[in-house]
Amino acid sequence: MFLAQFPPLSLPPSANANSRLLVPSPATCLLPPPRLWFDRKLNSVLSLPRPSTHFHRQRISCSSSAMPIQATSSSQLQDSLLYSRAFWVSKNIIAWNVDVGDGSCYLYASKVASLSVTDDGIQGEDVTIELEEESSGLPINVIEKFPHIRDYRPFKVPLALDAENLLKCQLAVATYDSGGKCINATGLQLPGILDELFSYDGPLGAVYSEEAVSLYLWAPTAQEVQAHIYKEPVGGSPLETVQLVEADGVWSVKGSKSWEDCYYVYELSIYHPSTLQVEKCYANDPYARGLSSDGRRSLLINLDAENLKPEKWDKLADEKPDLLSSSDISIYELHIRDFSASDNTVHPDFRGGYLAFTLQDSAGMLHLKKLSNAGLTHVHLLPSFQFAGVDDKKENWKSVDFNILEKLPPDSAEQQAQITAIQNEDGYNWGYNPVLWGVPKGSYAINPNGPCRTIEFRKMVQGLNRIGLRVVLDVVYNHLQANGPFDENSVLDKIVPGYYLRRDTDGLIQNSTCMNNTASEHYMVDRLIIDDLLSWAINYKVDGFRFDLMGHIMKSTMVKAKNALYNLTKERDGVDGSKIYIYGEGWDFGEVANNGRGINASQLNLYGTRIGSFNDRIRDAMLGGSPFGDPLQQGFITGLLLQPNNHDHGTKADEELMFASAMDHIQLGLAANLRDFVLTDSQGKEAKGSEVLTYGGTPVSYASCPTETINYVSAHDNETLFDIVSLKTPMGISVDERCRINHLATSIIALSQGIPFFHCGDEMLRSKSLDRDSYNSGDWFNRLDFIYNSNNWGVGLPPKEKNEKNWPLIQPRLADPSFKPQKSHILAAVENFVNVLCIRYSSPLFRLRTANAIQERVRFHNTGPSLIPGVMVMSIEDGHEGFPGLSQLDPTYSYVVVIFNASPSEVSFSSLALRARTLQLHPVQVMSNDEVVKKSSYEASTGCFTVPSRTTSVFVEPRKV
């Protein structure tokens, strides 16, 4: 999901009745001097070394730059182990933000998790080990891996310590002053040492051979692991329960070939920091490739089995639509359920699911074919992995009678009340709440058990490929739905607690993405993400990946993923990896902002990677403000300066400055938002894209090449394009004008350099009745109509939770019948969108492949202080006779001029540079049914263009035969 704002949590997300978590308070204590001893029984179980001279108490003086923490009363001692404020960063170093001075520091361990803090000190330990404070700071490699603790003090762990076995225990550290008084105690965060000791590149998950099925699970902190094998997806007793054997943190077992097509669940005995107990956890395999309904059990499914492959599946790579260059990509974002849930031309069993994409003659598929024939290349599917929030079993869904809702007033609150009453029990959710990344979602399959979801997903990819559309999966590796040892949707946090989820310096799970942030800076998280991507690419032959909140993933992970995918070959893997495109949301916020956890995959950091990121600059400049600002703030297309809506934008000078800046931002977006593109800005000065700044002071442009920019004006998040236009434009304008503004917006995106991205339905004036966040608003507010009778405007006030504060703005608009488009408006919008796609693909000049080509060929003409407000004039020049040094790319046209007129009136623009050319209106527009655009004209003798209001006109210069 796109960046949203969430209130801070006052308690750890794992706090519940079973976890015994207390209200946070400082982790300090008063303790007697610790003892240095080893329990003989624990020593034999964990193979710990006997005490040696390495453990003799030493006191080392050091500077006191760290803030000393004062001892507190005994009433606060209970809280100290609920936190993990120290970091075991490598085998020999524990980092902690404390000042020992003349005191000492000790590490404690208990295999049975019996550590506690009382007035008498730390109790229940099996092992006590003295740590030596280092006078120097943390090593460079540690700081690079954990930049957020760069100023912490290092404490040396004895070299002879059997750390591998200690890591299976409850661990704590405590410091004492020179008089033996405890001044600090806390638990430990372990990812650093786990990465150093247990990084692993061997097999994981289920491995199939001719004679056996083997299981491999990475769980270095587990004390014991079993696998329960079941015949059925739910219920019943296990066929077998087998013990896995550990080697270097990996638990494995070789099982019978008869296990194939059975289900399994892991049982782990493991210490969990959220409960301070050794827990018995039941978990799915993180590398599961199949599931039972609602993911209660993992399915032992061999994806190479012939019976799981649709006809000609192995040859699909040869059938895929051509893609000569990534610059040719255009993307259409679509939710699987939205696509067919309301399509009566689809068989009822297939509606809302994978198989709807196999029906070549449904209304939805005919619409996609229309877009594909016009040039659209990729369909981006919202999350399709196993996510929480929708029961996989359709018989459990609740629904609302749409016939009743249809009779209610368009501005009524009753529709949303009925929808939200069942919103967590219906069949709808966007799916940004991952449970398991590597398995298709069961609710989209006819049968969520067995192999159906695998077979049907493959048929969906095949069906889309066969109408000329490649498939992008929306992947959500930045967070997980659940954590802790008991939640049925928790997986990774049961397998290696405290490792997969990113924690703050107190040891509490970070939630800046909205829930349970993952930590790709940890080796095995990075590996799991890349392995998962490769599985989807090879086993499901998808053509691209869109990364949700990509900025929360490390840049190194993204680059590794891109390289791993690129290296896939048709001969070896059945996939041409060079054609796989990856992109995502490069927002820089939360704990990762400004490289707080390492160099993250944010917009500015991705320069030179050829990984795309969404360009919010062009979106905000076009619409006005931002998704988190005042909903009435206007932008370039919505009437700023030219047709005010009575919102206070400041003085006239303020408005003029905002408008001029918006034009600069959009023009840079039209030039692929290249960092080094030189633009003559609104002040008449030449400036690189990186030198033009946003209102927040960051560079507008950041890309090194066109494929690093995803230009868009709307997406699944926030209001639809038609809705936001209806909200921001003045109440009194006509629906005809709003429809033209909608098309103006999509045409700016479609004719820009870089990768254009469209939200499904923008081309049909799609409305969600002004809902700004329809992730759980059901089919009612998310309906699509591919026979073009309705755009879904005015179906009631949008759900209260996210929209109530704007109801006073929304209600009068929904109540006004003049806001609702007619079928003729929708048909015209579809035709205009198809036409602008045809124009984009009529010339390679709209899809230039290099930054240098854009800099050489793209020019903007209505610039500087004397510019005509609301008019952007872009030319693209091809090589032709008399122009040395510029190669010829287009065999048909030698020159293109595009004029975007956002003003409410016809404009004329003259340019000496564009005089005396043989320009004419593009043939697609000449042949269109849009009588307005046909009024566009060009006079060669004066270089004067005339363009109607709210119109995009494309003029081309045909080559001489």
Residues noted as catalytic: 548, 585
How far apart are the C-alpha atoms of 739 and 922, rounded to whole Å? 21
How far apart are the C-alpha atoms of 227 and 283, rounded to whole Å? 10
Query: Contact at 8 Å (CB) between 936 and 945?
Result: yes
Query: Contact at 8 Å (CB) between 622 and 746?
Result: no
How far apart are the C-alpha atoms of 337 and 335, rounded to whole Å? 6
Cα-Cα-Cα-Cα dihedral sign, residues 384, 390, 393, 395? negative
Instruction: Tell me how crowded residue 912 is: count the other CB atoms within 10 A of its CB.
Output: 9
Burial of 866 (C-beta count, 10 Å sphere; 0-12/13-18/19+):
exposed
What six digits make up the tokens of 144?
């690079």
Report CA 871 to chain centroid distance, whole Å: 34
How far apart are the C-alpha atoms of 493 and 275, rounded to whole Å? 12
Instruction: Tell me how crowded residue 794 is: count the other CB atoms within 10 A of its CB.
Output: 20
Q: What are phi and psi of 38, to 5 degrees?
A: -125, 135
Sheet holding 944-947, edge to edge: 907-910, 944-947, 937-939
Query: Contact at 8 Å (CB) between 331 and 378?
Result: yes
AA identity, residue 898: V
How far apart are the C-alpha atoms of 636 and 726, rounded to whole Å? 14
How far apart are the C-alpha atoms of 769 and 719, rounded to whole Å? 9
Strand 944-947 relative to strand 907-910, pairing? antiparallel
Instruction: Kindly report each contact of residues 651-658 with a partner whose C-beta sits within 8 Å and lies 24 or more positions away, as own/partner.
Output: 656/869
Cα-Cα-Cα-Cα dihedral sign, residues 923, 927, 930, 934? positive
How far apart are the C-alpha atoms of 727 and 739, rounded to whole Å? 13
Q: Where are the alpha helices (DSSP H) in 519-648?
A: 523-540, 555-566, 570-573, 616-623
Cα-Cα-Cα-Cα dihedral sign, residues 86, 476, 220, 145? negative
Query: What is the end-to-end Cα distance of the chain in Å, rounded?
Result: 51
Distances (CA, A) of 591 to 192, 386, 517, 588: 18, 27, 10, 9
Q: What are phi and psi of 300, to 5 degrees?
A: -85, 85
Burial of 85 (C-beta count, 10 Å sphere; 0-12/13-18/19+):
buried
